[in-house]
Amino acid sequence: MGEKKKKIVKTIKIDIDKCNGCRACEMICSAFHASPKYSSNNPARSRIRMIREPIRDIYVPVYAGENAKAECMGRDKYVIGEKEYDECVFCRASCPSRDLFKEPDSGLPLKCDMCEGEEEPLCVKWCITDALTCEEREEEVEEVKMGDVGTGLKSLIDKYGFEKIADTISRMSKKG
């Protein structure tokens, strides 16, 4: 068992009534994660995606969460404004059943990193309607030891192959 440490955990609160579907959040997220940083703007590289139904004035921002290794078995339905949506539409996971939240070049899963290194998540900063707000709370977490990092890296290499992982690490090290 590792040692417990205090850590600030950030979360993004989404108010769908305030979202106007402008997609500024997708634009800044994809530009921030381009390599080199801000060199391109491709929403497919964004960790936040907009579910849009302009005719019904429905806009739901969904940001990328954990990667799911397999498709889930049971799927719920959501009814919004009399239209039925499959649960997959609002799911935050990158998973084998769809292309959402996958790096377009390597196919590796994308996950929101809260714009690591930035004071405030950029999608929150760029959202002029305040549909996105950042909240912080303190949590006790277990400290990760280097051995755990090695095990995590090994399972990624087993799943995606050494070349893809090495390519992604090299792209990440060129950022900034």
Least distance (Å) between residue 4 CB and ligand SF4: 26
Q: Which is nearer to ligand SF4, 105 or 157 (CB)?
A: 105
DSSP secondary structure of 7-27 = EEEEEEEE-TTT-----HHHH
Least distance (Å) between residue 26 CB and ligand SF4: 7
Joined together, the tokens standing for residue 94 give: 């990158």
CA distance 61 to 65: 13
Q: Which is nearer to ligand SF4, 157 or 171 (CB)?
A: 171
Helix (H, G, I), strand (E, B) or coil at 125: helix
Q: Which is nearer to ligand SF4, 25 or 95 (CB)?
A: 25
Least distance (Å) between residue 33 CB and ligand SF4: 7
DSSP secondary structure of 80-117 = ETTEEEEHHHH---B-TT--TTB-TTT-PBP-----TT
Residues in the chain: 176
Least distance (Å) between residue 22 CB and ligand SF4: 4
Least distance (Å) between residue 57 CB and ligand SF4: 12
Binding site for ligand SF4 (CB under 6 A): 19-25, 28-29, 32, 47-48, 50, 59, 61, 63, 112-115, 121-123, 126-127, 129, 131-132
Q: Which is nearer to ligand SF4, 7 or 154 (CB)?
A: 7
Backbone angles phi, psi at 134, to 5 degrees: -100, 135
Q: Measured between alpha carbons, how far is residue 35 from residues 62, 81, 110 in Å? A: 23, 39, 14
